[in-house]
Amino acid sequence: MSQEGVDLETSPGYLLKEASSALRTAMEEVLRPLGMSITHYSCLELLAQRPGSSNSDLARGAFVTRQSMNVLLQTLERDGYVTRPAAPPVGKALPTRLTARGRRSLAEASAAVRIVELRMLAGLTDADRSTALRILRSMVDSLRADDGT
């Protein structure tokens, strides 16, 4: 290992990025045949768990810009996956909801993504899985505490 660099084999940041990249690739492989991107899936999943979410809420939850989410929502609305009122009921936000088609599409995608997650966790015991989730949550919390989010 170089004194100036990071040992990639033991760098938590690098290993998390590698795991994230592998997960993304595996998710793309199962979502593509369903006609979905990861952002499309994430948006539907967020709406199932948080009906009426605004564009900004969905963008934050899917880790994309508000502009990207707005383009996606327009497409999802045009294709019948979500519905939004023509005018905001209060303020500026247009609350978005899943349609029956969106819920059916999400159910199929969620099942495919769950298989990927189970494959990712296959080498872990139940105790290891719980520990991994606790550690990952702690890492996120620590980093967010330092940057004020």
Q: What pLDDT score was predicted for residue 23?
A: 97
Residue closest to 68 by CA, chosen among 56, 80, 77, 85: 56
Phi/psi for 97 (5° steps) reads: -135, 150
Q: In degrees, to the nearest 5, what angle opens at C-alpha 59 toward C-alphas 50 and 17?
A: 105
The CATH number of the domain where 43 resides is what?
Answer: 1.10.10.10
17 falls within a domain: yes
Q: What pLDDT score was predicted for residue 75?
A: 96
141 falls within a domain: no
- Give the domain extent around 72: 12-123
Q: How confident is the model at residue 88 (pLDDT cuts 50, 70, 90)?
A: low
71 falls within a domain: yes
Q: CB burial class (10 A; 0-12, 13-18, 19+) of residue 90?
A: exposed
| Radius of gyration of the chain from its Cα atoms, rounded to whole angstroms | 18
139 falls within a domain: no
66 falls within a domain: yes
100 versus 149: which is more confidently predicted? Answer: 100
Q: How confident is the model at residue 78 (pLDDT cuts 50, 70, 90)?
A: very high
Sign for the CA dihedral angle at 90, 58, 121, 37 comes to: positive
Q: Is the pLDDT of residue 54 over 70?
A: yes
145 falls within a domain: no
- Of all residues in the chain, the percent with pLDDT exceeding 70 is 92
33 falls within a domain: yes
80 falls within a domain: yes
How much is the average pLDDT of 54-69? 94
Q: What pLDDT score was predicted for residue 27?
A: 98
Q: Structurally, how many domains does the chain consist of?
A: 1
